[in-house]
Amino acid sequence: MSQLKSLEYLQKKISIKNIALDLENPRYNDKLIERGYKKWTDKELQEVIEEEDVAELTDSIRELGVKDPVWVIGKGRNSFTMIEGSRRLVVLRGLLRQKAKAPRGISYEIVKANVLPSNISQKEIDAQRVILQTGKKKWEPFNVASAIYNLVKNDHYTIEEVATMMQESVSFCKKELASYQLYIQFKKFMKKKKIQEDPRKYTYFQRAGTSVVDKFFGTQAGKEKFFGLITPNEDGITRIPTVALQGGLMNFNTIAQNENILKKFLKDKRVTVLDALDDYKGLNIQSSLPWIKKLKDVAKGLNQLGTEDMRRIKKDSTVFTQIKRIYAGSKAIVESKD
């Protein structure tokens, strides 16, 4: 990491007209895929960044200008590419387009910039993109994972170096890397099924619970079975339709803990995740409160009592006391607010 931190740069003032957006900025990888583009044009990326919530940043820059230097790479005489500061550049472009008048002592046309040399390697550029943007506006999970994958697999940084760049733990980076490698296999599955790639599906792998990982991700057959559950089947139904909402992956993580309920869910397409969850809760409470299994028979017996049976029960003080206890306990449960 010392090599990354010791990269030389020059600080100078630059016209924003001479700065281009970084068309390989990993922060926007998901948006690139969602739009079906192979690569950005400067105009397209400008529009995507403008779609973000930059209102607060716009207000700040309009009043105070850009205080912190942006980071750029020299691309020839008086030509630069933005490495860190894309949102600020977009805001400045917008203010100039609106012909906004800057307060005294502030310029919307000129920014302070730390200029990295034009002969910097691609490996160093990839690292600097991550290092300089860490701690800024939060990245989407897919973009974090794809950046980790690129740094490890293509740039050959160690997972420990990447963790330092991202200011994350090694275990976090290892988990993201493993999840993204699963997504790459899922990407091939989507292509085979002629399904448009969807980076948002990455979180299905990132948030998969231990039982899901153990029962599905260990074999190719298991992976493809899971892939089929998170994409539309032949009836157009996605069996696990969401990640965090009710009836989605979070609930599926729970039912995957019970082999019998999981088998029933996989076999019967009519069973929803919520149906299976109800079964799981039923079995789970019966294991912790085994006497509940007898309630069905008790309820059936009580409902079939005749007049003579009721009279005999009332005469038997021991049995009648137990009936009253059942009544009191049942009433407390039924009338409880939780």
Residue 6 pLDDT more than 80?
A: no
Decide if 176 is inside a domain: no
Q: In this model, does residue 338 exceed pLDDT 70?
A: no
Residue 273 belongs to domain spanning: 207-288
Within a 10 A sphere around the Cβ of 113, how many other Cβ atoms? 25
**pLDDT score recorded for residue 336:** 84
| Cα distance between residue 91 and residue 249, in whole Å | 38
pLDDT-derived band at 285 (thresholds 50, 70, 90) equals low
In sequence order, the β-bridge partners of residue 71 are 84, 114
- pLDDT score, position 95: 96
Answer yes or no: is 44 within a domain.
yes
Q: What is the DSSP string of 139-184?
A: PPHHHHHHHHHIIIIIS---HHHHHHHHT--HHHHHHHHHHHHHHH
Please indicate, yes or no, whether residues 242 and 306 belong to a single structural domain of this protein.
Answer: no
Last residue of a domain, one of 288, 308, 323: 288
How far apart, in Å, are the Cα atoms of 304 and each of 31, 257, 287, 322, 324? Answer: 64, 38, 28, 18, 17
Q: Report the relative pairing of strands 80-84 and 19-20 from DSSP bridges.
A: parallel
The candidate with the shortest Cα–Cα distance to 266, out of 252, 278, 280, is 252
pTM to 2 decimal places:
0.80
Do 242 and 280 lie in a common domain? yes
pLDDT at 2: 34
The label of the residue with tokens 């079906």 reads 36
**Taking the CA atoms of the chain, what radius of gyration do you get in angstroms?**
30
The span from the CA of 50 to the CA of 31, in Å, is 13
Tokens of 166: 């991202």
Question: In sequence order, which ranges of 193-272 are alpha helices (DSSP H)?
Answer: 202-206, 210-216, 220-229, 249-255, 259-267
Examine the fold and report which residue of 86, 110, 131 is the final residue of a domain before the chain moves on.
Answer: 131
Percent with pLDDT over 70 in the chain? 95
pLDDT of residue 294: 81
Query: Does residue 232 sit within a domain?
Result: yes
Mean of all residue pLDDT scores within the chain: 92
Residue 7 has pLDDT above 80, yes or no: no
What's the pLDDT score for residue 1?
35
pLDDT digit string, tens, across residues 36-58: 999 999 999 999 999 988 989 99
Position 140 in a domain: no
> pLDDT-based confidence at 93, cuts 50/70/90?
very high
Q: Looking at the 3D structure of the chain, how many domains does it have?
A: 3
Residue 134: pLDDT band (50, 70, 90) is: confident
Question: Is 183 in contact with 201 (CB distance < 8 Å)?
Answer: yes
310 and 233 housed in the same domain: no
Residue 283: pLDDT over 90: no
What CA–CA distances, in Å, run from 175 to 163, 193, 309?
Answer: 11, 27, 64
**Residues 326, 298: contact at Cβ < 8 Å?**
yes
What is the tens place of the pLDDT at every residue in 191-231?
Answer: 999 999 999 999 999 999 999 999 999 999 999 999 999 99
- 320 in the same domain as 278: no
CB 114, CB 9: distance < 8 Å = yes
Same domain, 90 and 31: yes
Is residue 323 located within the same domain as residue 261?
no
> Does residue 289 register a pLDDT over 70?
no
Phi, psi for 113 (deg, rounded to 5): -140, 140
Same domain for 304 and 225? no
Residues 181-197 have pLDDT tens digits of 999 999 999 999 999 99
The answer to whether residue 64 sits within a structural domain is yes
Lowest-confidence segment of 88-97, 139-148, 286-295 by average pLDDT? 286-295
pLDDT of 4: 46
pLDDT score recorded for residue 60: 95
Q: How far is CA 230 from CA 180, 208, 217, 248, 277, in A?
A: 16, 12, 14, 9, 17
